């Protein structure tokens, strides 16, 4: 399991907490920035990280900004990315099981470091439920992305 991480200044605190958890558990990762709390633009780090996941270089991604929202919006513009903003345990599990989300987005001004680690752990360890109904809906999302979706 290889994890790509990114954040802006608003999410660097929880990203660093998750990195500490990954290191302690020998989970392979790369941090695509930012690397300090100077004000930066979250789309840059969303793109860098999401592109790595989209290209298949990493299994999953974790992105953090102040709310998790802006960075998820930017990540979801990258082909093949299903980024989910999560702040509770149930959603962290279900977005893997039902949506096969490949990027977890969290807000450093929404949740604390302990909760970020808890959610990252659930996200990383929960597999997709490979069931017809979920596959069908994910295919629809792909078609919307490709512009081939027909109602």
How far apart, in whole angstroms, are the C-alpha atoms of residue 94 and residue 24?
A: 25
Peptide bond into 34 cis (omega under 30): yes
Q: Does 141 bind ligand RB5 (CB under 6 A)?
A: no
- Among 42, 33, 13, residue whose Cα is nearest residue 114: 13
**Residue 98 designated active-site:** yes
Q: Which listed residue (34, 65, 105, 134) is catalytic?
A: 65
Report in angstroms how near the CB of residue 45 gets to ligand RB5 at its nearest.
Answer: 10
Question: What are 78's two structure tokens?
Answer: 């990258």
Which regions of the chain does DSSP assign to beta strands (E)?
2-7, 28-31, 60-65, 83-85, 103-107
Q: Does 76 bind ligand RB5 (CB under 6 A)?
A: no
Map residues 89-128 to x or -, x wherever contact with ligand RB5 holds by CB under 6 A: ----------------------------------------
How far apart, in whole angstroms, are the C-alpha atoms of residue 66 and residue 44?
A: 15
Q: Does 70 bind ligand RB5 (CB under 6 A)?
A: yes
Q: Does 52 bind ligand RB5 (CB under 6 A)?
A: no
Residues that bind ligand RB5 (CB under 6 A): 8, 10, 42, 65-67, 69-70
Catalytic residues: 65, 98
């Amino acid at each position: 399991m290889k994890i790509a991480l990114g954040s802006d200044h608003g999410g660097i605190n929880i990203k660093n907490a998750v990195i500490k958890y990954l290191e302690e558990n020998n989970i392979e990762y790369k941090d695509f920035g930012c690397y300090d709390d100077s004000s930066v633009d979250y789309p840059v780090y969303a793109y860098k990280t999401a592109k790595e996941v989209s290209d298949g270089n990493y299994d999953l991604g974790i992105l953090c900004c102040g709310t998790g929202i802006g960075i998820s919006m930017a990540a979801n513009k990258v082909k093949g990315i299903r980024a989910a903003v999560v702040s509770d345990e149930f959603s962290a599990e279900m977005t893997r099981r039902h949506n096969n989300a490949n990027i977890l987005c969290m807000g450093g001004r929404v949740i604390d470091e302990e909760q970020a680690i808890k959610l990252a752990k659930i996200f990383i360890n929960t597999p997709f439920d490979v069931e017809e109904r979920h596959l069908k809906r994910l295919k629809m999302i792909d078609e919307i992305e490709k512009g081939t979706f027909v109602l």
